[in-house]
Amino acid sequence: MTIPAHIRPEIAALMDIHPEVAEALSAGRAVVALESTIISHGMPFPKNVEMARGVEDVIREHGAVPATIAVLHGRLKIGLTPEELHLLATDKDVQKISTRDLALTVALGRHGATTVASTMWVASLAGIRVFATGGTGGVHRGAGDTMDISADLMELAHTDVCVVSAGVKSILDIGLTLEVLETQGVPAITLGSTEFPAFYSRQSGFPAPLSVQTVEEVARILKVKWTLGLAGGVMLANPIPLEAEIPASEIMPQINQALEDMNALGLSGKETTPYLLGRIVEITEGRSLEANIALVRHNAAVAAQVAVAYAQLV
CA 207, CA 185: separation in Å to the nearest integer? 17
**Residue of 47, 77, 169, 270 marked catalytic:** 169
Binding mask 132-161 for ligand PSU (x = CB under 6 A): --xxxx------------xxx---------
Out of 21, 37, 68, 129, the only residue in the binding site for ligand PSU (CB under 6 A) is 37
Shortest CB 27 distance to ligand PSU, Å = 29
Chain residues 84-103 in contact with ligand PSU, contact rule CB under 6 A: 98
Q: How far apart are CA 9 and CA 22, in angstroms?
A: 14
Q: Could you say which of Mn ion, ligand PSU, none residue 197 binds, taking C-beta under 5 to 8 angstroms by partner kind?
A: none
* 155 scored as a contact of Mn ion (CB under 5 A): no
Site membership for ligand PSU, residue 38 (CB under 6 A): yes
CA-based R_g, the chain, Å: 18
Check if 195 is active-site: no
The CB-based long-range contact list for 189-195 (8 Å cut-off, 24+ gap) reads 189/218, 189/221, 189/234, 189/235, 189/236, 189/237, 190/237, 190/238, 190/239, 191/215, 191/218, 191/236, 191/237, 191/238, 191/239, 191/302, 192/238, 192/239, 193/239, 195/239
Q: Which is nearer to Mn ion, 56 or 148 (CB)?
A: 148
The verdict on 270 binding ligand PSU (CB under 6 A) reads yes
- List the catalytic residue out of 35, 155, 195, 245: 35
Q: Is 169 a catalytic residue?
A: yes
**Residue 35 touches which of ligand PSU, Mn ion, none (Cβ within 5-8 Å per kind):** ligand PSU
Q: Is 245 near Mn ion (CB under 5 A)? A: no
Nearer to ligand PSU, 150 or 309 (CB): 150
101 binds Mn ion, rule: CB under 5 A: no
- Which helix (H) or strand (E) covers residue 231, if one does? none
Nearer to ligand PSU, 116 or 308 (CB): 116
Cβ atoms 129, 33 nearer than 8 A: no
- What does 284 interact with, of Mn ion, ligand PSU, none (CB < 5 to 8 A by kind)? none
Rounded (10°) CA dihedral 47, 199, 300, 211:
180
254: nearest Cα among 286, 296, 294, 290: 286
Residue 16 touches which member of Mn ion, ligand PSU, none, C-beta under 5-8 Å by kind: none
112 sits near ligand PSU (criterion: CB under 6 A): no
Residues 6+ apart with CB under 8 A from 86: 49
CA–CA separation, 130 and 117 (whole Å):
13
By the 8 A CB rule, do 312 and 215 touch?
no
Name which position in 99, 115, 284, 299 contacts ligand PSU (CB under 6 A). Answer: 115
Interface with ligand PSU (CB under 6 A)? 35, 37-38, 42, 98, 115-116, 134-137, 150-152, 169, 270, 273, 277
